[in-house]
Structure 1
Amino acid sequence: MKKIITLSVLAFFTTTMYAADDSVQTEIDGLKAQLTAQDAKIAKLEKKQEHNIKKISHVNELANNDNLKFKADLRTAYDYISYKTANGKETSNGLFSNRLWLNMAYAPTKHLSFYSTLAYYKLYGQTIGANHGFNYNDAYVNETANPSDELRVKEAFWLYKNDTFLSMDIPWTASIGRRPSTDGLLVNYREDQRAKSAIGHDINIEFDGASFLYQLENVTNVPGMSLKFCLGRGMSDAYSRASNVTANSNGTYSFNNNQNYTKVSGFNDNTDLYGVLFKPYDDGQYSLHTLWFKAFNLPGMVKTTTANEYNFKQTGDIEGGAASFVADGIGDGISDMLDDSVVFASFAYSKTHPGATSMLGSKNAQTGTSVYVGANWPCQLIDNARVGIEYNHGSKYWRSLTYGEDTLAGSKLAVRGDAYEAFFNKELIGHKLTAQIRYTYMDYKYNGSNAFFGDAGTPTAVNGDDVKTAQDIRAYIRYRY
Structure 2
Amino acid sequence: MKKSILVLLTILLVVPNMLLAATPTIEDLQKQISDIAKELDELSNRVDKPERHAALDRINFYGDLRNTVDSVHYKNLVYSPGIKMNYPGAGIINVPMSAGPKESDLNNDVLYTTRLRLGMKAKIAENMNFSGRLTMYKNWGDSTTTKVFDSWNAFTMDGTDSGSTSGDWLRVERAFFDWKDIGGSNFYLSIGRRPSTYGPPTNFRENELRGGTPSGHLVNFNFDGVTIGYHLSELTGVEGQTVRFCYGQGFESELGNGSLFNDDITANLEDTHLGGFNIDVFNDGQTFVQATLFRAQNVVDGFKGTFAFPTQMMAQFAPTIYGDGQNFKNMNFEVRYTPTTVIGDINLAALGFSREEDNGFVWFGSLAWTQLNPNGKAGMFGGMGTSAVYTFDGDGNIDSITAEDDKTQNGYGVYVGIQVPAPMGKFGLEYNYGSKYWTPFTQAQDDVVGSKLATRGHAGEAYYIFDINSNAFLRIGAIYYDYQYSGSGSPVGKPEKVSDIQDGKAYSLLPVADTAWDAYAKLTMKF
Specify the TM-score bucket, using the shorter chain as the normaliser.
Answer: 0.7 to 0.9
- The change in CA–CA distance for 1:292 and 1:267 in structure 2 (over 3 A counts) is same
1:318-397 → structure 2 map (5 Å cutoff) = 318-329=346-357, 339-357=359-377, 358-361=383-386, 362-379=405-422, 382-383=423-424, 385-397=425-437
- Alpha-carbon distance, 1:128 to partner: 8.9
Alignment partner for residue 128 of structure 2, among 92, 108, 112?
Answer: 112
Whole-Å separation in 1 of the counterparts to 2:144 and 2:224:
32
Contact residue 435 and residue 476 of structure 1 kept, 8 A: yes
| Deviation digits for residues 188-243 of structure 1 (CA, Å, limit 9, x no counterpart) | 111122221110011110001111221111111111211011111111112428x4
Which of 147, 163, 174 is matched with 1:155 structurally? Answer: 174
Equivalent residue number for residue 314 of structure 1: 342
1:71 pairs with 2:110? no
Whole-angstrom CA distance in 2 between matches of 1:58 and 1:128: 43
Q: Is the counterpart of residue 477 in structure 1 residue 523 in structure 2?
A: yes
Q: Which has the higher contact order (CA 8 A, sep 6+)?
A: 2
- Tell me if structure 2 keeps the 8 A contact 1:76–1:96: yes
**Aligned-partner Cα distance in 2 for 1:463–1:235:** 34
CA offset at residue 301 of structure 1? 6.2
Q: Is the 8 A contact 1:279 1:289 kept in 2?
A: yes
Q: Matches of residues 220-239 of structure 1 in structure 2 within 5 Å?
A: 220-239=236-255
Please say if 1:265 is aligned against 2:266: yes
**Once the 2 structures are TM-superposed, how far is the Cα of residue 287 of structure 1 from its aligned partner?**
2.3
For the residues of structure 2 that align with 1:356 and 1:272, how far apart are their CA atoms? 19
Structure 2-normalised TM-score?
0.68
The alpha-carbon deviation at position 283 of structure 1 amounts to 2.5
Structure 2: how far apart are the matches of 1:109 and 1:226?
23
Q: For residues 214 and 411 of structure 2, what CA distance do their matches in structure 1 show?
A: 19
Pick aligned residue for 1:62 from 35, 55, 60: 55
Matched residue type, 2:353? F
CA distance 1:328–1:214, shift in 2 (3 Å)? same
Once residues 188 and 167 of structure 1 are traced to their aligned partners in structure 2, the CA distance between those partners, rounded to angstroms, is: 32
The change in CA–CA distance for 1:57 and 1:276 in structure 2 (over 3 A counts) is farther
Preserved contact between residue 397 and residue 459 of structure 1 (Cα < 8 Å): no
Aligned amino acid, residue 218 of structure 2 = D
Matched residue type, 2:385: L
Aligned to 2:446, the other structure's residue is in SS state coil
Residue in 2 aligned with 1:80?
71
Structure 1 residue 95: deviation in Å?
A: 1.0
Q: Aligned to 2:450, what secondary structure does the other structure show?
A: coil
Aligned to 1:5: none
For 1:102 and 1:281, how far apart are their aligned partners in 2?
31
| Structure 1 position 299, deviation (Å) | 2.3
Partner of 2:288: 287
Post-superposition CA distance 1:32-83 (Å, at most 9, x none): xxxxxxxxxxxxxxxxxxxx9999986664343xx21111311111111111
AA at the equivalent of 2:215: I
Contact 1:449 1:459 (8 Å CA) reproduced: no
2:161: which partner in 1?
Answer: 141
1:411 and 2:451 aligned: yes
Gap change, CA 1:212 and 1:264, over 3 Å in 2: farther
Q: What is the aligned partner in structure 2 of residue 211 from structure 1?
A: 227
2:436–2:495: 8 Å Cα contact kept in structure 1?
no
Count of residue correspondences: 392
Deviation at 1:454, TM superposition (A): 2.3
Counterpart position of 2:188: 173
Whichever residue aligns with residue 469 of structure 1, its letter is T
Q: Distance in 1 between matches of 2:261 and 2:317?
A: 28
Q: Deviations over 1:269-300 (max 9, x none)?
A: 10110120122222322221101000012122
TM-score, scaled relative to structure 1: 0.75
In 1, the alpha carbon distance for the partners of 2:438 and 2:293 equals 15
Query: Which amino acid letter does the alignment assign opposite residue 135 of structure 2?
Result: A
Contact 2:269–2:340 (Cα < 8 Å) also in 1: no
Give yes or no for contact 1:447–1:462 (8 Å, CA) kept in 2: no
Q: Which amino acid aligns with 1:194?
A: L
- The 8 Å contact of residues 188 and 229 in structure 2, kept in 1 or not, is answered as yes
Deviation at 1:86, TM superposition (A): 6.8
Determine which structure has more spread, i.e. the larger CA radius of gyration.
Answer: 1
Gaps of 5+ in 2: 1-44, 79-102, 304-314, 319-336, 378-382, 387-404, 503-511
Q: Partner amino acid for 1:291? A: T
Query: How is 1:7-22 mapped onto 2 (pairs within 5 angstroms)?
Result: none
Q: Percent identity?
A: 29
Local SS of the residue matching 1:99: strand
CA, structure 1 residues 217+371, in 2 after alignment: closer, same or farther (shift >3 Å)?
same
Q: How many Å separate the matches in 2 of 1:323 and 1:60?
A: 44
Residue identity matched to 2:473: T
CA shift for structure 1 position 138: 0.5
Alpha-carbon RMSD: 3.0
- Report SS of the residue matched to 1:78: strand
The residue type paired with residue 454 of structure 1 is V
Match in the other structure for 2:508: none
Aligned partner of 1:90 among 105, 109, 122: 105
In structure 2, the CA distance between the partners of 1:76 and 1:461, relative to structure 1 (3 Å rule), is closer
Aligned to 1:25: none
The aligned amino acid for 2:59 is L
Change (3 A) 1:75 1:175: same
Instruction: Please give the alpha-carbon distance, in whole angstroms, between the structure 1 residues aligned to 2:131 and 2:148.
Output: 29
- AA aligned opposite 2:128: L
Partner in structure 2 of residue 28 of structure 1 = none
Letter in 2 for 1:82: H
Aligned to 1:21: none
Is residue 242 of structure 2 the alignment partner of residue 192 of structure 1? no
Query: After TM superposition, what 4+ stretches of structure 1 lie above 4 angstroms from structure 2?
Result: 52-61, 127-130, 165-168, 306-312
How far apart, CA to CA, are the structure 1 residues paired with 2:371 and 2:428?
31
What is the CA distance between 1:110 and its match in structure 2? 1.6
